[in-house]
Amino acid sequence: MRHSLLAAAAIAVIAACSSTEAAPVANTVIAAQDGHASHSAANNGELTAEQKQGVADVRKVTQQFHDFDAAKKAGYTVQYPAGCAESPDGAQAFHWLNEGLVDGKVELLKPELLM
């Protein structure tokens, strides 16, 4: 369960860090306006207006975390999984968890994990 929540949070962060143009998405999990994950394979891979708004909302909320000091102040202080980045330059990416937000609910506007 915890891994599913973290995966959803990672998707939210990836959406927030991607370019401002919504790229076509097919058969993938995307952020819905109501904060729940939804699965879409329809619309020829295009995001619906509601999905585009959801991605915009996630980007707006997470933009502050592009500054690592702001993320630390907001409680993202636990590297998850431990040792993920083996060097000061990182590996795949740095993953920071806010343990206070891990509660069994996926709330895309309150991500448990930042990459």
pLDDT digits (tens, 9 = 90+) for 1-27: 544 544 555 554 454 444 444 433 333
Instruction: Please say whether the beta carbons of 35 and 11 come within 8 A.
Output: no
Q: Based on the structure, what is the number of domains in the chain?
A: 1
Q: Tens digit of pLDDT for each residue in 22-70?
A: 433 333 444 444 445 555 455 678 999 999 999 999 999 999 999 989 9
As a dihedral over the C-alpha atoms of residue 81, residue 87, residue 92, residue 97, rounded to 10 degrees, the angle is 30
Q: Which pLDDT value is given to residue 90?
A: 56
Question: What is the pTM assigned to this prediction?
Answer: 0.54
Instruction: Please say whether the beta carbons of 51 and 29 come within 8 A.
Output: no
Domain interval for residue 89: 2-114
Those residues whose C-beta lies under 8 Å from the C-beta of residue 14, and which sit 6 or more positions away, are 115
